[in-house]
Amino acid sequence: MPHRKNTIYNISLSKIDKDIIILFATNVIIGILHFISMKIMTIFESKKLHYRKWFWYFYGIIFMLSGGVNLVEKGDLYWSFSIQFLLGLIVIILNFFGKIETKNSESY
């Protein structure tokens, strides 16, 4: 029986092919993010504030989860993961009390 490589669907990609795929995927992701940001510019300011508020909640939760999972996974108390967890908690608390707000461009 011939020796078979560990490839997906028997497709073997060279390094340059993988690099081109990564470059293309990165450009597609940046294009999607640009399209979304252009659409957000046309949304009313009250809707933007709502989206920003939920973004900061999401950001704080992800930061806390990342720090917490790393603390549990390592089994020891690493100061960097503790700081990451605490920063996520601080972001959530500040967002809850309305201290994380961006000013409107009209108020400058």
User: What is d(CA 41, CA 105) in angstroms, rounded to the nearest whole number?
Assistant: 12
Is 108 a residue whose pLDDT tops 50?
A: no
**What residue ranges do the domains of the chain occupy?**
13-42, 45-108
In 3D, which of 100, 96, 73 has the Cα closest to residue 84? 73
- Structure tokens, 23: 């470059």
CA distances (Å), 95 to each of 14, 60, 100, 101, in order? 47, 9, 5, 8
Q: How confident is the model at residue 104 (pLDDT cuts 50, 70, 90)?
A: low
- What is the mean predicted confidence (pLDDT) over 55-79? 87
19, burial (CB in 10 Å: exposed 0-12, middle 13-18, buried 19+) = exposed
Is 53 a residue whose pLDDT tops 70?
A: yes
pTM of the model: 0.56
